[in-house]
Amino acid sequence: MNFLLARSANLFPVWLLIFCGLELVESGIFTWFSGQWIVGALMLIMLGMGLTLEPADFRAVAKMPGAVLAGFIGQYTIMPIAGWTTAKMLGLPSDFAVGLILVACAPGGTASNVVTYIARANVALSVVMTSCATLAAVVVTPWLTQLLAGAYLPVDGWGMFLTTLQVVLGPVALGVFLNRRLPRVAASFVNWGPLVSVVLICMICASIVGQGREAILQHIGVLALAVGMLHGFGFFLGWLAAWALGFKPPEARAISIEVGMQNSGLAAVLAKAHFAANPLTAVPAALSSVAHSLIGSCLAAYWRARGVRN
């Protein structure tokens, strides 16, 4: 059973394409999944992430500070700059530009841990980097979004901070606490957690795709190019920076994946909550989830086929 659950979760890009494709073909299937449903879903995903963590995971930072720091800095410099640059280069409309920048300023997504495993990279490093970036997102994501997207639309940095605190820090902290105090309960949830997270992310993205269906179909070319460029820059520059710093292949791959893959679910929730008057800001988040999952999966398959030399 656990093997089937794991294999089903590893097919994340396939499920995402199916969910979003159904919504594009037949609008209305998942659009009911909006508002507080999306917020609650992301909180459940973050709780699941917390249930996989222990205090020892955070102490592991001390054992690999250079790699963690490199991934953290890459996450919050390479991606935000790439998002802002891409929006400028393509001359994106304000709503799409803000949405793309918001995705770029989000922390790494939990799917990066799965992709890192497939790529035969350093999974422990990936988990620690995701945890650190997620906790820092409470402050860093609102600040960077306000700094880079403020020229397009008014950004409520303080409100975004409070929302991130609610949907990220609280559930993750609760998950760590439950894992510590009720390990059996946490272990039973962990088996189902990845697949539950995959389904919830797919529903979030499909709902956003359905709500912005007309705009997506009208601008599908430039939107696909924008998210493709954003994540392409992230994967490549993340790997290049790690290689230049002298990290071995397992660590370099983990850093590349962590930088290139974002928590698009969090970006979608923040867009929905703080740009309600501009609903199209959430569209890049939905397409981003598809893009980084497909690019990351293909890259992981390539690296896995090559093996690990060191």
Q: Looking at the predicted structure, is the pLDDT value of residue 119 above 90?
A: no
pLDDT in tens, 215-262: 777 788 888 899 999 999 999 999 999 999 999 888 899 899 999 988
In terms of pLDDT, which residue wins out, 152 or 224? 224
| Mean pLDDT score of the chain | 80
- Residue 187 CB partners (closer than 8 Å, separation 6+): none
In three-state secondary structure terms, 31 is coil
Would you call 308 exposed, middle or buried from its count of C-beta atoms within 10 A (0-12, 13-18, 19+)? middle
Q: Using the 8-state DSSP alphabet, how is residue 262 labeled? A: B
Q: Looking at the predicted structure, is the pLDDT value of residue 2 above 80?
A: no
Most confident of 50-59, 84-93, 105-114, 267-276: 84-93
Confidence category of residue 58, pLDDT binned at 50, 70, 90: low
pLDDT of residue 103: 92
- Percent of the chain at pLDDT > 90 equals 16
Q: Looking at the predicted structure, is the pLDDT value of residue 310 above 50?
A: no
Q: Looking at the predicted structure, is the pLDDT value of residue 87 above 80?
A: yes
pLDDT of residue 47: 79
How many other C-beta atoms lie within 10 A of the C-beta of residue 266?
Answer: 26
pLDDT of residue 186: 73
| Mean pLDDT, residues 6-20 | 73
pLDDT of residue 243: 92
Cα separation, 272 vs 292, whole angstroms? 21
Q: Looking at the predicted structure, is the pLDDT value of residue 8 above 70?
A: no
